[in-house]
Structure 1
Amino acid sequence: MNLGKLASLSLGAALSVVSWQAPAAELVMLEQPGCVWCARFDAEIAPAWPKTEEGRRAPLRRVDITQGWPPDLAEIAKERFTPTFVLVHDGKEIGRIRGYVGNEFFWYRVGELIALLPAVP
């Protein structure tokens, strides 16, 4: 392979890496093993989440609070109560929902939080 072709491939690889970006917003679910309310959320909301406008706007990310805290969430306050849902935008907390008491209340509260995100261009 000649150097020009190799340089071209390297530039293409670099551009593909640069063009990928993590979502600007995500809904971080703080959970732990044995959490019955987490399991209820998993049964009632989780399967539908990625198919909804809210889920497309803020993909669900799960964090097990019994494990190490992710470095990219260093600015987000830790929580001992599970589940807790933290809406994060560009690394900053927009708001949180502590607990899960059913799908109707969850959709209402998460809608309020999603409405606080900047408008999508």
Structure 2
Amino acid sequence: MHRRAVLTTLALAAAFPALAEPAPKGRALLMVEAPRCPFCAAFRREVLPGYASHPLGRAAPLTAVPIDGPWPDGLALARAPQASPTFILLENRMEIGRFEGYDDPETFWRTLGDLLA
């Protein structure tokens, strides 16, 4: 392994400590949240209760992780999230898109639908 690859791997391991469980395979939506984040709380209150039964929710099951970790093992992200909430669409543990912030349920579902399309 080249020195640069080793350093990159070590930097990612430090930035994203692993959980005992690997990241889900297939399509999944990773919600990165912070403690006391009012937008995260609003999402949990307004969207999360019905998320799993919504067609888009079934297309991309949700996993929530703290912004400071620990993170699911085996993720390939474009960059570390800087804001909360950040929603990262994964395909076989690899990032294929993301959006930041939460305004209201309608905007969330529209943005997720656009990302899944």
Between the aligned partners of 1:35 and 1:98, the Cα distance in structure 2 is 13
Partner of 1:80: 82
Q: 1:1-121 maps to which residues of 2 (within 5 A)?
A: 22-73=24-75, 75-76=76-77, 77-115=79-117
**Deviation >3 Å, runs of 4+:** none
The DSSP-based 3-state class of the residue aligned with 1:82 is coil
Alpha-carbon deviations, 1:40-88, whole Å to 9, x = none? 0001110111001111111000111122333322x21211200000000
Measure how far apart 1:27 and its partner are. 0.4
The DSSP-based 3-state class of the residue aligned with 1:107 is helix
TM-score (ref. length: structure 2): 0.74
More strand by share: 2
If asked which structure has higher relative contact order (CA below 8 Å, sep 6+), I would say 2
Between the aligned partners of 2:111 and 2:43, the Cα distance in structure 1 is 14
Measure how far apart 1:99 and its partner are. 0.4
| Long gaps (5+) in structure 2 | 1-23
The DSSP-based 3-state class of the residue aligned with 1:81 is coil
TM-score (ref. length: structure 1): 0.72
Percent identical among aligned pairs is: 39
Partner of 2:7: none
Determine which structure has more spread, i.e. the larger CA radius of gyration.
1
What is the aligned length?
93
RMSD: 1.3
